[in-house]
């Protein structure tokens, strides 16, 4: 749970989550949405992944990221 709050404690990562609510996206497409270098976005994706908030799947040379809605539910029910 610690990892989840840590992951959510960043505007960029919260925006990534919002993007993935609409549709799955690959790392490059996500990076294009920000004025931040690709390595930095990759780092954010890693933190989201470690928190289990997203999952990734290699598709050819791309890596597609998907929101893990199950874990988001867990946060939303935190404390009940």
Partner DNA sequence: ATAATATTTAGATATTTGTCTAAATATATA
Partner DNA sequence: TATATATTTAGACAAATATCTAAATATTAT
Per CB under 8 A, contacts with its own copies among 34-73 are: 72
d(CA 43, CA 58): 17
**Bridge partners (DSSP) listed for residue 37:** none
Q: How far is the CB of 27 from its own copies (least distance, A)?
A: 22
Closest CA to 65 of 79, 51, 80, 45: 45
Q: Is 14 in the site for DNA (CB under 7 A)?
A: no
Q: Does 62 bind DNA (CB under 7 A)?
A: yes
State which residue, 37 or 66, has the beta carbon closest to DNA.
37
Distance (Å, rounded) from C-alpha 1 to C-alpha 38? 27
Out of 4, 16, 20, 44, point to the residue binding DNA (CB under 7 A): 44
Helix (H, G, I), strand (E, B) or coil at 77: coil
**Residue 39 interface partner, choices its own copies, DNA, none, CB cut-off 5-8 Å depending on type:** DNA
């Amino acid at each position: 749970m610690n990892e989840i709050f840590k992951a959510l404690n960043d505007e960029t990562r919260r925006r990534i989550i919002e993007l993935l609510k609409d549709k799955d996206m690959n790392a490059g497409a996500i990076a294009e949405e920000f004025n931040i270098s690709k390595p930095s976005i990759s780092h954010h994706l890693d933190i989201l992944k470690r928190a289990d908030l997203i999952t990734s799947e290699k598709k050819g040379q791309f890596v597609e990221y998907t929101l893990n809605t199950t874990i988001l539910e867990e946060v939303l029910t935190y404390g009940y």
